[in-house]
């Protein structure tokens, strides 16, 4: 869990990010989870679009996806979700929040 200050810092970092993918009518698929997990391993912070066609509330969909990704939901703003997971890679610059 993040403090409000940490969450605000991560949200400000994510404000300039473009969504790396979207969850649509197919819902959360195995390929989607693998793709987002690889992105988290490389970037630590990602933004995802949650389309209304996915059928679930944005908050619920983000929580389910975060659980599958072993990540934290930073925020859900409208139909965009921001996720954070610390990378296990040693040779990248880790996010300091």
The arithmetic mean of pLDDT across residues 62-70, rounded, is: 97
How far is Cα 30 from Cα 27, in angstroms, rounded to an integer? Answer: 10
pLDDT at 54: 85
How far is Cα 28 from Cα 22, in angstroms, rounded to an integer? Answer: 10
pLDDT at 46: 98
How far is Cα 97 from Cα 30, in angstroms, rounded to an integer? Answer: 30
pLDDT band at 25 (very low <50, low <70, confident <90, very high): very high
**The architecture CATH gives domain 4-84:** 2-Layer Sandwich (3.30)
pLDDT at 23: 95
How far is Cα 1 from Cα 26, in angstroms, rounded to an integer? Answer: 29
pLDDT band at 89 (very low <50, low <70, confident <90, very high): confident
pLDDT at 56: 80
- 10 Å CB burial of residue 16 (0-12, 13-18, 19+) is exposed
Residue 28 has pLDDT above 80, yes or no: yes
Instruction: Report pTM.
Output: 0.92
What value does the mean pLDDT of the chain take? 93
For 9-21, write each residue's pLDDT tens digit.
999 999 999 999 9
């Amino acid at each position: 869990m993040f403090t409000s200050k940490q969450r605000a810092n991560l949200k400000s970092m994510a404000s300039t990010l473009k969504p790396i993918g979207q969850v649509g009518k197919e819902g959360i698929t195995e390929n989607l989870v693998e793709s987002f997990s690889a992105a988290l391993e490389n970037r630590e912070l990602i933004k995802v679009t949650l389309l209304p066609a996915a059928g679930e509330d944005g908050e619920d969909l983000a929580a389910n996806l975060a659980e599958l990704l072993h990540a934290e939901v930073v925020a859900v703003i409208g139909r965009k979700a921001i996720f954070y997971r610390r990378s296990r890679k040693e040779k990248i610059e880790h996010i300091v929040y």
